[in-house]
Amino acid sequence: MVKPMEEPTPPTPPTPSTPPTPAQPKPKLDCAQIAKLAGEGATLQEIANLLGFTVKHILWRCHRQFNCGCAQRHVLLRQLQGREAKQGNVPVLIHLGKAELGQGQNPDAQTAIPEPRLPYKMG
């Protein structure tokens, strides 16, 4: 006796092992953190590397906060210079004054506020 032929079953479509995920959310740039790091003496490149952004993006979004942090550090250094000069510990403060405040041999540099060292010109 001959068996009737069974109809083949259609193949089932493959199911994905994991559901599709939405795009990764973009990290937010915290300008207050930029100001804090700049006030602690971090350079713009160091901040960019630490937070995972480009220097250009940080300047575009938070240039005012970066400049404010640098200015606060300069004020703090000037205050420390005054205190330490009264106590007699001058060599380190002379180095900091020359390196960060532009207090070199030029007498005008001592009264002028130096521009922050930025790799890009804003404006």
pLDDT tens-place string over residues 81-115: 778 777 767 787 787 778 777 888 765 544 555 56
Q: Is residue 41 part of a domain?
A: yes
Window from 53-57, 59-63, 82-86 with minimum mean pLDDT = 82-86
Please give the tally of structural domains in the chain. Answer: 1
Q: Of 111 and 117, which is predicted with more confidence?
A: 117
Q: Is residue 48 part of a domain?
A: yes
Global pTM?
0.55
Range of the domain at 69: 31-103
Q: Is residue 113 part of a domain?
A: no
Residue with the two structure tokens 């100001």: 35
Q: Is residue 10 part of a domain?
A: no
Q: Is residue 108 part of a domain?
A: no
Contact 34, 58 (CB under 8 A): yes
Q: Is residue 43 part of a domain?
A: yes
Q: Is residue 16 part of a domain?
A: no
Window from 16-25, 27-36, 77-86, 108-117 with minimum mean pLDDT = 108-117
